[in-house]
Structure 1
Amino acid sequence: MSETLTPEPIYQTDALIAADIDAYLDVHQHKTMLRFITCGSVDDGKSTLIGRLLYDSKMIFEDQLAALEADSKRVGTQGQEIDFALLVDGLAAEREQGITIDVAYRFFATEKRKFIVADTPGHEQYTRNMVTGASTADLAIILIDARKGVLTQTRRHSFLAHQIGIRNIVLAVNKMDLVDYDQAVFDGILKDYTEFACSIGISSFVAMPISGFKGDNITGLSANTPWYSGPSLMQHLETVEVDATVDARKPFRMAVQWVNRPNLDFRGFSGLIASGSIRPGDAVRILPSGKTSTVKQIVTLGADLDHAIAGQSVTLTLADEVDCSRGDVIASADSPPQVADQFEATIVWMDEAEMLPGRPYWMKIGAQTVTATVQQPKYQVNVNTMEQLAARTLDLNAIGVANLSTDRPIPFEAYADNRDLGGFILIDKMTNATVAAGMLHFSLRRADNIHWQAVDITREAHAAQKGQSPKLLWFTGLSGSGKSTIANIVEKKLHALGRHTFLLDGDNVRHGLNKDLGFTDADRVENIRRVGEVAKLMTDAGLIVITAFISPFRSEREMVRQMLPVGEFVEVHIDTSLAEAEKRDVKGLYAKARAGQLKNFTGIDSPYEVPEKPEIRIDTSKLDAEAAADLIVERVIGIWSPDL
């Protein structure tokens, strides 16, 4: 009698399948993540390389592959072979121009690691996009066309990658198939790049000959380069140490992104751990206040943790009720970061309009936003020669070093040590456009040596002695609008009423305080900054200060407004048309500007930004100077001198 085989119940098979899936998902979930960028000059093969990596790692679906093959035939790339760049160059403009103009992010994975790759632009015009892609990368692949060697953009991107703090650099000499895999070509490029890398402080990198199109040395070593014994590109990417591993060995740092208060019984501080590790019971310090406490719980959505490390998002509860809000930093109590308000930084300018030293910008660093003012650059970097060039400002894609100050002390670390607490962006306050990216180097010694000196006679006491409320009447308008004339009459009338005043006129201060300044946009910004600081000191003394300046930029007028307590800054727009102002031309300035003898003249070849919501607007087509002054004085007396 033959043996009867009984099949396993179907539920056991399903259970085994489910177990296999769970095991696979668990392994995949715990893989490390490597973020890297490809960069270099135009047409060095960055997009092709990424397309090859996606193709070889089996991360392309059948419908995508079919579309890729059809697109490759349509654009006619090298016969009927696949054009891997089309996987990444998704923008129509990129396909038409044959260049990458945006940052394209792609995800793929192998059995050993997960990857996020940013394909960054090669053209100089889009350097700012490259900086964006590099800001979160652990590794940079610098591609060089074997036929062209080291180019300007090779140097620029290498310099930026190094400045941004990317520790792992791969020099990929691409298109070796087009030079017959000649070792002499590779060695020559390696020699040139090594000399340059040493000059900018890159102490080590991995160099390899590849062909993104043919696949040489991408996922395995190629027989076409028997003289190369290093790893393939994929082998290196799978084994290189990621930044998160390095960051986990550093002191604990976490910027507070949100104060979690769902009810009266719970108060936690949520954020991403930037470096180090934390356990319940660890002593921590809150910055910038300096208050200390200990960690009570490490809370996550799933469950409380007994240990958390860099790269994890957690909520910390503390044993003590301490003042801690968004933007503050929770750090190891025995090794906290520094707190300062003046720094040296490398700045990459990313706006079409040039940087204006002295103009206040929003500065986003970590989870906090502060006001920052950048000084005239110490120098601009020539990426070809590494020369430090004198510069009064920075224009699009320029890289320079400058001092900057913030309106309040902030916790920070040098960017080389901590990207989260050392990297920042600058935002134009008027347009909300991101205008620059920067990396802090160190705090200035003056920030530690200069302190506010307490005084006994306050600004309120000065004002009370004079029997008035201090104000700043800020007259703004085109040259020839009548600002100085009306301001002078206003002061005479206020003086006759017993008010304590002082008039700061635009021309007069340029004979002394601002005699070193010209009329460029940058000099105009500095002119107004200085006048604003002087006017603030005068209002501290209890005076009603009257200023008459063109002050063409809204940003600088807003800067002065922010220097004073709410309600003390009064913007007076002397509204006169350009045609009328030019018709008057008492000083002959418009005639000179029209003749090209006077550059950067407001209204002719330099803009005037009309106040949007001035406290007082004077239409000089309807009021003469005397009537305008009467109206302003009436407003001053009616609003700010209730005793009269």
Structure 2
Amino acid sequence: MDLLRFITCGSVDDGKSTLIGRLLYDSKSILADQLEAVEKASKSRDNGDVDLALLTDGLRSEREQGITIDVAYRYFQTTARKFIIVDAPGHIQYTRNMVTGASNCQLAIVLIDARHGVVEQTRRHSLIASLLGIQHVVVAVNKMDLVDFSQDVFSNICIQYTELAQKLNIPDITYIPISALNGDNVVDRSTAMSWYDGTTLLNHLETIDIDDTTNHTLSRFPVQYVLRPQTAELPDYRGYAGKITSGAFRVGEAVTVLPSGETSTISRIESNEQDIQEAGVNQSVILHLADNVDVSRGDLIVPSTSQPVVSQTVEAMLCWMDTKAFSVGSKYVLQVGTSRTRCVVREIPYQLNIETYEQVADVESLKLNDLARVVLKTAQPIAFDPYSQNRANGGAILIDETSNVTVGALMLEGEA
């Protein structure tokens, strides 16, 4: 049984948490004690109805304000598939939380309030989903019950979003009219929208063909820790521990250590204290090399026949996530995988206009939630792949030097 990771996104109060609650409730994926706790918490509401949004909005501040603040993860499965749901906040202040949640998702559900249509956060979240390489989007037009289940309203919103989507790199878009509050077209088909002959949301999630976004040809092994046991019980050796983020490695394979460029051959691969001949993506292993080359935490071991970009000038798409301005000349710590190095902002070639997706030139600084193309100069060479080719080795973060807070998410594009 395969696994689908998807995120619900869109503007504040579009009904994301309620949709997830309805999906869990109608698919009978809620434990009895969870439902009892939600029913108890809902008694304080004026109408007395069960507030399904409370299944994901668990923080006290979220329940007090009736909004989602932090990303919430929920797990469930049907007879067809396993799911990890990421409930992202819709408020513009918490866009950075949405970026974090969407980074590992394969599908995005973009909720749109039928009364309001496409708004700024719809555009922003759709653009971020596109930049993060999410290939499948479901546009769920919610609160159809508040517009008398009007087919014209639904059709007009589909036209609005289609115009927006033409400027994005999203190959697969599906439109579904729903009412998360009442359950129309979420798990069960709606009797109030006989004009809609498409699938329900759950059926679509169960049957959609999701391509594996993991790159299986570009083998990458970021070194997390260097093992050098020197005890009577263990032989004296040097091993390199980490997790294979893409591709596979085999005993006897010629490899290169980056950024130094030192070469060697894999002599052993350890997994769970057993020697194996081959290890693949997401396996945590210890690699042994035939030669005593200099390897440290943060280095990247790759096949000698398939090497990434190694450079000190990097061009990338940036989502800025700090209240302090991002400006030319500012200094940060850049982290790619396990590698960290200091960097300085050399240039901002352009910023993306959220309303039109147009490129705005001559930008000297960025504010919270801005999206832009940037050029960074690093103190040490970094080894990376273009994000579009290998998400595992093409994503990076910027860290504030003084506070150690993550302030930016990067999709690395290439050498500047």
TM-score after normalising by structure 2: 0.92
Q: Is the 8 A contact 1:33 1:242 kept in 2?
A: no
- SS of equivalent residue, structure 1 residue 311: coil
Aligned AA (2:146): L
* Cα distance change of structure 1 residues 367 and 384 upon mapping to structure 2, 3 Å threshold: same
Q: Which residue of 1 aligns with 2:74?
A: 106
User: Distance in 2 between the 1:304 and 1:210 partners?
Assistant: 53
Cα deviation per residue 1:82-137 (whole Å; 9 max; x = unaligned)?
21101111122222222112212222223333322221111111111111211222
Written as runs of structure 1 = structure 2, the 5 A alignment for 1:150-229 is 150-229=118-197
> Does residue 365 in structure 1 map to residue 333 in structure 2?
no
User: Distance in 1 between the 2:29 and 2:266 partners?
Assistant: 43
Task: Quote how far apart the aligned CAs of 1:142 are.
Answer: 0.8
RMSD, aligned CA: 2.2
Size of the aligned set, in residue pairs, is: 411
Task: Quote how far apart the aligned CAs of 1:34 are.
Answer: 2.5
Cα deviation per residue 1:545-604 (whole Å; 9 max; x = unaligned)?
xxxxxxxxxxxxxxxxxxxxxxxxxxxxxxxxxxxxxxxxxxxxxxxxxxxxxxxxxxxx
Q: Which residue of 2 aligns with 1:292?
A: 263
Q: Is the 8 A contact 1:248 1:277 kept in 2?
A: no
Cα deviation per residue 1:46-79 (whole Å; 9 max; x = unaligned)?
1011112222343322222112122223113xx4
Aligned AA (1:316): L
Q: Is the 8 A contact 1:376 1:393 kept in 2?
A: no
Q: Which runs of 5+ in 1 are unaligned?
A: 1-30, 445-644
Q: Match for 1:342 among 298, 302, 313?
A: 313
> Does residue 246 in structure 1 map to residue 217 in structure 2?
no
Written as runs of structure 1 = structure 2, the 5 A alignment for 1:531-546 is none
> Does residue 89 in structure 1 map to residue 89 in structure 2?
no
Written as runs of structure 1 = structure 2, the 5 A alignment for 1:9-408 is 31-76=1-46, 79-242=47-210, 245-263=212-230, 264-301=235-272, 303-389=274-360, 390-408=362-380
Q: Is the 8 A contact 1:101 1:121 kept in 2?
A: yes
Task: Quote how far apart the aligned CAs of 1:222 are.
Answer: 3.5
User: Distance in 2 between the 1:250 and 1:224 partners?
Assistant: 49
User: Distance in 2 between the 1:358 and 1:438 partners?
Assistant: 17
Q: Is the 8 A contact 1:197 1:203 kept in 2?
A: no
* Cα distance change of structure 1 residues 267 and 242 upon mapping to structure 2, 3 Å threshold: farther
Percent of matched pairs sharing the same residue: 51
User: Distance in 2 between the 1:128 and 1:291 partners?
Assistant: 38
More RCO (CA 8 Å, sep 6+)? 2
User: Distance in 1 between the 2:144 and 2:274 partners?
Assistant: 52
- SS of equivalent residue, structure 1 residue 165: coil
* Cα distance change of structure 1 residues 60 and 304 upon mapping to structure 2, 3 Å threshold: farther
* Cα distance change of structure 1 residues 307 and 57 upon mapping to structure 2, 3 Å threshold: farther
User: Distance in 1 between the 2:158 and 2:55 partners?
Assistant: 29
Cα deviation per residue 1:312-369 (whole Å; 9 max; x = unaligned)?
3222223333322211112232121110110211111111111232122111111111
> Does residue 424 in structure 1 map to residue 396 in structure 2?
yes
Task: Quote how far apart the aligned CAs of 1:242 are.
Answer: 4.9
Q: Which protein has the bigger strand share?
A: 2
Q: Is the 8 A contact 1:363 1:369 kept in 2?
A: yes
User: Distance in 2 between the 1:291 and 1:111 partners?
Assistant: 50
- SS of equivalent residue, structure 1 residue 262: coil
Cα deviation per residue 1:187-225 (whole Å; 9 max; x = unaligned)?
211111111111133233222222222222223443444
Q: Which runs of 5+ in 2 are unaligned?
A: none
Aligned AA (2:133): G
TM-score after normalising by structure 1: 0.60
Q: Is the 8 A contact 1:248 1:309 kept in 2?
A: no
Aligned AA (1:104): A
Task: Quote how far apart the aligned CAs of 1:303 are.
Answer: 4.1
Q: Is the 8 A contact 2:240 2:286 kept in 1?
A: yes
Q: Which protein has the bigger helix share?
A: 1
Q: Is the 8 A contact 1:44 1:144 kept in 2?
A: yes
